[in-house]
Amino acid sequence: MSMRLLSQPGGVPAGTHQVPGDKSISHRALLLAAAAGGETRIENFLDGSDCKATAAALRALGIDITFPGNTKVLVKGNGAFLSPVQPLDLGNSGTGMRLLAGLLAGRDVVATLTGDASLLGRPMRRIAEPLEKMGARIIPGGNGTAPLEIHGRPFLRGLDYVMPVASAQVKSAILLAGLAATEPVVIHESVMTRDHTERMLQAFGAKTSRRDNTIRLEPKTRLQSPGKVEIPGDLSSAAFLFAAAAMTPGASVTVTNVGVNATRAGILDLLARMGAMVSLARPREVSGEPVADVTVSGGSLHAIEISADEVALAIDEIPVLLAVASIAEGETVVRGAGELRMKESDRLVAMAAGLVKLGIATEVKGDTVCVFGGQPQGGVVDSCGDHRIAMSFAVLGQRATGNVEISDCDNIDTSFPGFPVLMRDVGLRITEISS
C-alpha cells in the first residue's frame, strides 16, 4: 500500500513549533563519531529512514552504535572499520552513500554501497573521480551510478581539486577521504555550499580553514570525540512551515531552535524578498552551528528572480519555493538549478508537471525554471517518490481552489517523520490516505 496525501484548502498556519533534527548534520555526526576516538552522544538526531540507514551501515562496518532513545544516539568510535559481509544498503540517501564512500576511501576495507531504485539512478562518478585521484579504487555501476564498490586505502594522496559542480556532498566526500591523506587537501568551490562538514570536522579536532571559496584540510588528522553533539532543527523541514505561513495573509508561524547556517539559509532571504515577513530571535550557537527561533508571517507575495548562487544556498528548498511562486504575482525565474535534476527525482520536471496539473503555467528550459503566478486548482499530482516534492504540493494545497491529492508519498519519512501530524498542528488540513 502506497501512502497518498490529501491536502484541503483553507488552512491558516499559526503557532510555535519544533521540527525534527537536521538530516544533513545527523549524517555527519554519525560518520565523524564513528571515525573518532572516544564516545559521542548525539542528541536531537533525526529519527528518519535515511539517517537510520547510515547508522545500520556503520554497524555493519563494526562500529558500536546504540539508541538510548529515538533521537538520542551513542557512538563508541575507534576509527577501525571492518569489511562488511553484505552490501551496505543506504536506502534513499544520497548524502549517506556519498559521504560514507569518502570516509571508507581512506580505510583498509572493501565494501559495496547500494540503495533503493531512486538512489541507484543518481550520479556517482562525481565522487569516484576525485577519490581515485587520491589513491582509492572506486567502481561505480555501468552508468556511473550506484552500486559503488569501494576499495579503500589507509593512506591517500593529497588533492588540489576544482569542483566542477556546486555540491556539498562531493566536497564532503573528499574532505572525509582527506582524513587519511598524507598531504593537504584543497577544494575550490565555484559558489559556497553548506559547510556542515567543515564545522563538524573542527568540532572533532581536524584542522580546516577557508579563504573565500577555497577550503583546506591539513594532513595526518586524528579525530577525537567532543563528547556531545546536539543537532539543531532542520531548516529544510522548517521551510514547509515557513512557506505555508508566507502564502497566507495574516498567518504567522514560529519554529524554535532551528539551524540558520548562512550557507543554507537562503530560503529565509528569498521568502522575505517575495514579500513575507521574516524575523529571528535568540540567535546562538549549538555544537558549532548557528541556531535561532525563526518567525515567518504571510503577506502579499510577488515574483522574484533567483540566481545560481542563491540556488546553492537553498538547494533543498527550491521545490517549496516554486510552490510559493505559484501564488505570487508575476513570473518567478530560477536560474542555475540543474543540480535539482540529479536529486531523488528530476525536481524541476516533477514540480513543473505538478504545477501544470494544478493550472499554473510553468516552463523548464535546461537548468532554468519559470513559474507564472496565478490561482492553483485542485487535482492529483505525482510526487515521483520524492519527499520534498510531496511535501511541497501538500503545503500548496491550502491555497488551491479544491483538494490536492499527492501520490507516492512513502519517502517523506526519509527527512520529516511525522510531517502530516505536525502540519495539522500548524493549521493545515493534510491527511494520509492509502491506496
Nearest to 131 by CA among 149, 114, 119: 149
Half-sphere exposure of 83 (CA within 13 A, CB side): 10
Where do the H-state alpha helices sit in 61-107? 94-105
* 316 is annotated as an active-site residue: yes
Instruction: Name the residue with cell 572533532.
Output: 204
> 177-205: b or e for each residue (b if 16 or more CB lie within 10 Å)?
bbbbbeeebbbebebbbbbbbbbbbebbe
Whole-number Å distance between alpha carbons of 407 and 305: 30
Return the number of other C-beta atoms located less than 10 Å from residue 418's C-beta.
15
Give whole-number Cα distances, 84 to 111, 342, 358, in Å: 6, 28, 47
Whole-number Å distance between alpha carbons of 78 and 91: 25
Q: Are 380 and 407 in contact, with CB atoms under 8 Å apart?
A: yes
DSSP secondary structure letters along 370-427: EEE---PPPEEEE-TT-HHHHHHHHHHGGGSSS-EEEE--GGGGGT-TTHHHHHHHHT
Whole-number Å distance between alpha carbons of 3 and 413: 11
**Which one of the listed residues 89, 116, 234, 316 is annotated catalytic?**
316
Residue 249 DSSP symbol: T
Nearest to 40 by CA among 200, 206, 168, 199: 200
Whole-number Å distance between alpha carbons of 428 and 309: 32
Catalytic positions, written as ranges: 316
